[in-house]
Amino acid sequence: MVNTITFAGLLYVLIVVRTAVRAAFIIAVGPARVYAGAHWPSDVLGGYLIGAVLLVVIVRFYRTRVSGGGEVGRVVEYRGDG
């Protein structure tokens, strides 16, 4: 759960595509795991919390260390191979 939140959130921050699909995916994973019986609701809430904290830490690190303080989240347009 934590890995899903952190990874999907990081992709959302680094490759911004103007769609709510990524946000819906992040939000929908938790209830799906509870419905499947794989986790308790408290596990899902904990995963959301820990994943959000990790996402903030990673994005701040990226903004200050990797990109040199530049803007993260530029719009990337995919034009395909053809």
Residue 45 — pLDDT band, cuts 50, 70, 90?
A: very high
Give me the residue spans of the domains in the chain.
Answer: 2-66
Residue 60 — pLDDT band, cuts 50, 70, 90?
A: confident
Q: Is the pLDDT of residue 41 over 90?
A: yes
Closest alpha carbon to 48 in 36, 59, 56, 60: 56
For residue 15, the model assigns a pLDDT of 67
pTM for this prediction: 0.57
Residue 26 — pLDDT band, cuts 50, 70, 90?
A: confident
